[in-house]
Amino acid sequence: MSKIMAVNSGSSTLKWKLYTVPDEKVIAKGMVDRLGLSDSVFEVEYDGGKKISEMGDIPDHVTAVNKMLDKLIDLKIINSYDEIAGVGHRVVAGGSIFKDSAIVTPRVIQQIKNLSEFAPLHNPGQAAGIEAFEKILPQIPQVAVFDTSFHQTMDPVNYLYSIPYEYYEKYGVRKFGAHGTSHRYVSQAAADFLHKPLTDLKIISAHLGSGSSIDAIEDGESVDNSMGFTPLAGITMSTRSGDVDPSLVAYLMQKMKISDPAEMVKILNTKSGLLGISGVSPDMRDLLATRKENHRSDLAIKIFINRIVKYIGSYIALLGGTDVLIFTAGVGAGNAEIRADIANRFNYMGIKIDNDANENGKGTRLISTSDSSVAVLVVPTDEELMIVRDVVRLTKLSD
């Protein structure tokens, strides 16, 4: 059987899985958590459940990728890198260039770098990660899988901004959305779990992690996504501001005597969100641990939930109701308190949470009661599996 590696990097996490195909069996998996922060956590699970966990500063994605590859050899998960038949990489921004995943070439790498202005927290590190793999696996085909491709089904009513239309015509300015690979996976997984055709469901998917987005899905297609021209837009995130009044940006630049717009964008991307509000940490776990003694930690959590509720409410209206509400990604799938705080805001429309199911259990599961008006599910995302399938499809790998 062929072995394919999928790499899924976020702004503060890097997840990976090694699969055999065509059976799509995971033979090893792991992640780096708190990437770029102190006390990063490096985890590997392999050989039927054996686990290792190491702590130490991992400053960037390139370091994380190299550590991951070195560990595969150290643990003898594979005998040599030649056993890997392909590598797929999650890439956040594909702009209007990539309407599908793409086999990596020097031109594709350069295009990913050029698209960094659309996703400054992601594309540079992802391009560097691809290049790091090339140094170690120069003969192995690589595929870039773009978060934005799933959202190509959005209607112009939802993806155009209310600015002069010529800017769209000349510069391609529009909403691109993000986390499309995750939303594509969890929507299908939810439909499978409920034993219903995906095309019969109206779904709202809440991908809540370091980067977060809400997606409205109907007939299996993305209708709207909370992220915009870049992943900076939308709800409050770990270090990203989410939606702000553009006039505020100009006002702050004037007050702080900032002349370079890139400097202001960096502040909105790296010093805002949960970190900026709390002054404590960009990590939700740290905020939950300090919310009782630090009112700003508590405020940051409340603002995070408030913005999510607003987007979910607007998407319920956009879809004309919803059948399924999905929670996924690190915070969405991993924190019962946050899920309950969000879902309970919709008690007025008949959403009811089963507290025991919400607080206990693993994997894909229903956390709403039998008489809830909407099925509320926890669906751990598996962007890596979608990436592997795209590697197989595009490279035509076979056993």
Question: Does any domain span residue 154?
Answer: no
Task: Give 18's strand partners.
Answer: 5, 28
Of the given ranges (28-32, 79-83, 143-147, 347-351), which has the lowest mean pLDDT?
A: 79-83
Catalytic residue among 23, 100, 147, 243: 147
Residues 138 and 211 grouped into a single domain: no
Q: What is residue 11's predicted lDDT score, i.e. its pLDDT?
A: 66
Residues 58 and 204 grouped into a single domain: no
Residues 131 and 262 grouped into a single domain: no
Q: What is residue 7's predicted lDDT score, i.e. its pLDDT?
A: 85
Residues 249 and 327 grouped into a single domain: yes
pLDDT in tens, 353-396: 999 999 999 999 999 999 999 999 999 998 889 999 999 999 98
Q: Which residue has the tokens 């529009």?
A: 174
What is the rounded average pLDDT of the residues 182-204?
97
For residue 89, is pLDDT > 60? yes
Percent of residues, the chain, with pLDDT higher than 90: 74
Question: Does any domain span residue 257?
Answer: yes
What is the rounded average pLDDT of the residues 139-168?
95
Residues 218 and 314 grouped into a single domain: yes
Rounded-to-integer distance, Cα 275 and Cα 239, Å: 6
Of the given ranges (78-92, 200-214, 227-241, 305-319), which has the lowest mean pLDDT?
A: 78-92
The model carries a pTM of 0.84
CB 298 within 8 A of CB 151: no
What is the rounded average pLDDT of the residues 82-101?
89
For residue 15, is pLDDT > 90? no
Closest C-alpha among 204, 74, 84, 87 to residue 143: 87
Task: Provide the domain count of the chain.
Answer: 2
CB 154 within 8 A of CB 223: yes
Of the three residues 86, 117, 146, the one that is the final residue of a domain is 146
3-state SS of 335-346?
CHHHHHHHHHHH
Residues 250 and 313 grouped into a single domain: yes
Question: Does any domain span residue 122?
Answer: yes
Percent of residues, the chain, with pLDDT higher than 70: 99
Closest C-alpha among 144, 331, 386, 227 to residue 216: 227
For residue 188, is pLDDT > 50? yes
Bridge-based pairing state of the strands 221-225 and 324-328: unpaired
Residues 132 and 257 grouped into a single domain: no
What is the rounded average pLDDT of the residues 260-268?
95
Q: Residue 5 gets which letter from DSSP?
A: E
Of the given ranges (33-42, 151-160, 179-188, 319-328), which has the lowest mean pLDDT?
A: 33-42
pLDDT in tens, 204-247: 999 999 999 999 999 999 999 999 998 899 999 999 999 999 99
Q: Residue 298 gets which letter from DSSP?
A: H
Residues 113 and 226 grouped into a single domain: no
What is the rounded average pLDDT of the residues 88-107?
91
Residues 219 and 107 grouped into a single domain: no
Which CATH number does the domain housing residue 313 bear?
Answer: 3.30.420.40
Of the three residues 105, 128, 146, the one that is the final residue of a domain is 146
Residue 212: count other Cβ atoms within 10 Å of its Cβ: 29
Rounded-to-integer distance, Cα 190 and Cα 289, Å: 31
Residues 114 and 201 grouped into a single domain: no
Question: Does any domain span residue 138?
Answer: yes
CB 239 within 8 A of CB 274: yes
Q: What is residue 10's predicted lDDT score, i.e. its pLDDT?
A: 67
Question: Does any domain span residue 180?
Answer: no
Question: Does any domain span residue 42?
Answer: yes
Bridge-based pairing state of the strands 365-366 and 202-208: unpaired
For residue 399, is pLDDT > 70? no
Question: Does any domain span residue 43?
Answer: yes
> Is 92 strand, coil or helix?
coil
Residues 139 and 209 grouped into a single domain: no
Question: Does any domain span residue 245?
Answer: yes
Phi/psi of residue 56, nearest 5 degrees:
165, 155
- Identify whether 215 is a catalytic site residue: no
DSSP string, 169-205: HHH------S-HHHHHHHHHHHHHHHTS-GGG-EEEE
For residue 321, is pLDDT > 70? yes
pLDDT in tens, 27-73: 899 998 987 888 899 999 998 889 999 999 888 777 777 788 888 88
Which residue segment(s) compose the domain that 69 sits in? 2-146
Residues 249 and 316 grouped into a single domain: yes
Of the three residues 146, 161, 179, the one that is the final residue of a domain is 146
